[in-house]
Amino acid sequence: MIQLDKVSKTYWMSKENAIHAVLETTLEINRGEFLIITGRSGSGKTTLLNLIAGLTRPSSGRVLLEGQNMWSLTDLQQSQLRNRKIGFIFQFPSLLPSLTALENVLLPTIFSIDHVKEAGNPRARELMEKVGLIDKLNAYPRQLSAGQQQRVVVARALLNQPELLLADEPTSDLDEQTETEIMEMFRQVHLDSGITIVLVTHSTQLVSYGTRSIHMAGGLIEN
């Protein structure tokens, strides 16, 4: 499904000072995998995830999604591809405080035509039930725990039925019990839907939740 072919990403801080975030990385991610990428802060794992997502342009090499070089597309085509095929979950829940949990889940349909919005509502409710928050539809973010907020974000990421779900440190700010609950939820989503998941974490203890894991250090995949 995804191929990285000798991909590197270098950030130039000045003419003589460069940060080599990802170095000559080749990686293939198959459809239906639950890949967990581990590594310490600064190892390059988040940059790698952003390269996979097409959010960061590689300095060299190619990123292919289903055989399509993402950086051969126009900005509009890239945006349409991401909206159609990729769901994103970031480290900190990005919920709008003035909207209810259900309204936050429905945000991806905000610019859709009316019949798409109407179709999205029952799916949003179904997803809220799947993540264990059917009784929190009308709650505002301030009324939800950190773990519950992250569950809302997961439901929102799944609303458009993406083929690929990318998660960047989704449990880093959670206590151990909530972390376990969130990872169990990811595993269940994967089992139920067969969606391809790529999850980045600093915790090697979470690798058992995936079907495969890789470890990054110094911009390189170590295994």
Check whether 115 has a pLDDT greater than 50: no
The enclosing domain of 209 has a CATH number of 3.40.50.300
Residue 111's pLDDT is what?
56
Q: Is the pLDDT of residue 114 over 70?
A: no
| pTM strictly above 0.75 | yes
Question: Which domain range does residue 42 map to?
Answer: 2-222
| Residue-wise burial string across 126-153, b where 16 or more C-beta atoms lie within 10 A, e elsewhere | ebbebbebeebeebbbeebeebbbbbbb
* Predicted pLDDT of residue 120: 59
pLDDT for the residue numbered 149: 93
Tell me the mean pLDDT in the region 115-124. 67
Predicted confidence (pLDDT) at residue 13 exceeds the cutoff of 90: no
Split into its structural domains, the chain has a count of 1
The alpha carbon of residue 93 and the mean position of all alpha carbons in its chain are separated, in whole angstroms, by: 12
